[in-house]
A = this chain, B = another copy of it.
Amino acid sequence: MKISDFQDLMKTLYFHRDSKRGIKSTFAWLVEEIGELAKIIKKDEDISRYKKHASEELADIIAWSNSLANLLNIDVEEALLDKYPNKCIKCNSNPCRCEKG
């Protein structure tokens, strides 16, 4: 599936609700999903025990990010390719060769 198709899907499914809720409240929902993911990975369990749950929360984080992008009239694919144009924009290499981080 294309990145743009997923953004369009989020628009069709949820834009009427996202726009009624507004930018800051939609951001709050995104933050809630970050909290849900934190609850999972803060534990020192084996990944295999929480992988399914973590994948659902990661999906939610990306979905809410797309909802926010729709509210802000941001093209997600364009934003990703501007920031990650097949190389690291800090060291200009692929793989990244930055020293820190």
Interface residues of A (CB under 8 A from B): 1-3, 6, 9-10, 12-17, 21, 23-24, 27, 29-31, 34, 37-38, 41-42, 47, 51, 54-56, 58-63, 65, 68-69, 72-84, 86-88, 94-96, 98, 101
Q: Is the CB of B23 within 8 A of A41?
A: yes
Interface of A is mostly: helix
- Minimum CB–CB distance for A69 against chain B, Å: 6
Q: Is the CB of A1 within 8 A of B81?
A: yes
Q: Is the CB of B76 within 8 A of A14?
A: no
Q: Is the CB of B55 within 8 A of A72?
A: yes
When C-beta atoms are compared, the residue in chain B nearest to A11 turns out to be B95
* Residues of chain B contacted by A58 (CB below 8 angstroms): 65, 68-69, 72, 74, 76, 79
When C-beta atoms are compared, the residue in chain B nearest to A29 turns out to be B101
| From A24, A84, A95, residue with most partner B Cβ within 10 Å | A84
* Residues of chain B contacted by A73 (CB below 8 angstroms): 47, 51
